[in-house]
Structure formats: structure tokens, C-alpha cells
Amino acid sequence: MTKVFVTRHIPEVGLAMLRKRKDLHIVVAPQDKAISRRKLLRSVRGADILLSILTDKIDAAVMDAAGSKLKMIANYAVGFDNIALKEAKRRGIVITNTPGPEISETVAEHVIALMFALAHRIVETDAFSRRGNYHGWGPEMLLGCDVYGTTLGIVGGGAIGSAVAKRMHDGFGVTILYTDIRRNKKLEAETGAKFRTLPQLLKQSDFVSLHVPLLPSTHHMIGMRELKLMKPTAFLINTARGPVIDEAALITALTHHVIAGAGIDVYEHEAHIPRGLRKLKNIILTPHTASATHGARNAISIAVAKNILAFIDGKTPPNAIA
């Protein structure tokens, strides 16, 4: 019997796929929150497969606690910066993640929603209206800015960045700039996107959207130096990973209007959102919910189950990383 330990309940559709297998023993942690470190180390003992979520730090200590039976870590997330990949590889442990078009489309929608909410001051005007401050229409009241015809800079031209670029180009006539470690010819052909270095992109864009994984090379890739390159009328959006932005620098930049505003879904030290960010009016904060739709989360659940089922059947999982 293969033991699968699940660190937190995920949408039932994926768990149901696993429970159909008589050769799997599925153990789901009962708490409705991220599992504590102590409980993780205790509960993972004897597991053959660990189904983790992105808030679980899966390092050598967790692998030691699981023991030599642990052969797979199936991450319920597109990102995998929470897993010590080199340590897993050294031990011969297979790692999988859960990318897919449903997730890319959903996160892209969230990015676009933040763009329009920032430009049209949706959150601010909602609060204004709820406070009873609306006493009549005025030609210069709460003016925002247009999105149509602006320039969008995509940092990371992968699946999500490309989905954002295509929709904004096709639907709103937005000029697309992008930067990445390699050229994306398909993105260029479909949207007329122009490749730029990061400094060039920051200087020329009205909106900058981040879509890079968290790596040593991307940690704090946006700091005060980069923020000062942006237009004072520009907006920064991050749905990638929190530590890609130096939050202290972002707070300073927004406070002193170095840039016009920001839309942030991920944070440097999740789930802590600094008071300095929370008190600002020129930022929209969402609690890591860019992929929070029934469709996307079910798709992730199915993907993680397919990875596990392929592995126990002796096949290479669809989304094997290491």
C-alpha cells in the first residue's frame, strides 16, 4: 500500500481520483489552514508520496522526517520555490508541479482586473461612495487614466505573461514589451511584442506585470533602482512571487509617488502584509487569490492527482520537474 500524505485539504475532484485506487492510502491533514512545521514533521513519517501546497517548506528536514520511503513530492502549485530541489534530486525524489492553461488564463484575468482597477481607481471610488462622499457628478472628480493604447511591459514571457499580453493587445490595443532570459517568437508573432532589456522595459511601460519564478537571480529584481526607472504615472503588478519585489523599496516608492500605484497579490513574507503597504491608498492588495476560481483550483487538483497516478503506474508524471 502506497501512503500519500496531503498537507491540507484540496478540492475534492483530485482527491476522489486518488481514492479510487485501492493501492493508495490517502491521509489528509485535518486542519483548515497551513500545516504547522511541527505537525508536518510528525505527520510525514512513512509517507511514500507527499502532496504539498505552496506554503509548505519542504526541505531536508522534512525529507529526513519522511524517511527513505519518500519517493515523490507532488506540489499543488505552479511554482516550486518551496521545495529544496537539489536535496530532492540527491535523494532520487521526483518533484512535480501543476501548470496548465486553466491556471494561466485565470491568473491572467486577475492581472487584467488589477490593471483596470488601478487605472479607473475602482477600489478607491468604491470606498468614496460607501463613505457617503458622493454628492453629485463633477467633471474632474476622481479622475483615473485610460488603459487603451498604453504600453504594457511583461517581465517573464511564459504562459501567464503571454496570456496577459495577448488579451491586452487583442482587446485593448495595448503595445506589448517583454523581457525574459530568451526570446518568445510566438509572442512576438501574435502580439507584435518587442523584446527589451529590463531597464528599457521599465522606462517605456505604463504598466509592468511580473511573471517570473522565484530564483536567486529574481530575488528583489525590482528594488528602488528599478522603481526609479519607471514612469511616475506607471503601475506595477505582481502575481508571481512576493520576494521578486523589495517590499521596503515599494513602500517608499508608493509613499513618495515615484510610481503611480501597484497591484499586489503575493508578499515577501506570506501571509504577512506590512502595515506600510496596507495604509497606502495607491495600492490594491489581494490575498494570493490570482488563481482562486473554482475552475482553476479544480484543474490544479486534477493535475496533481494525474502526476501521482502516473508515478505509481511507473510512468513519467506529466509535470515532472526533478
d(CA 5, CA 7): 6
Determine how β-strand 94-96 pairs with β-strand 194-195: unpaired
Q: Which residues are catalytic?
A: 241, 270, 288
Grid cell 477600489 is found at 123
d(CA 266, CA 272): 10
Q: In this structure, what DSSP letter does residue 245 have?
A: B
Cβ pair 4, 15 in contact under 8 A:
no
Query: How many whole angstroms from its chain centre is CA 6?
Result: 21
d(CA 33, CA 270): 13
d(CA 104, CA 95): 20
Closest CA to 49 of 297, 321, 300, 307: 307
Any idea what the Cα angle at residue 177 is, between residues 205 and 269, rounded to 5°? 70
| Residue 1: other Cβ atoms inside 10 A | 7
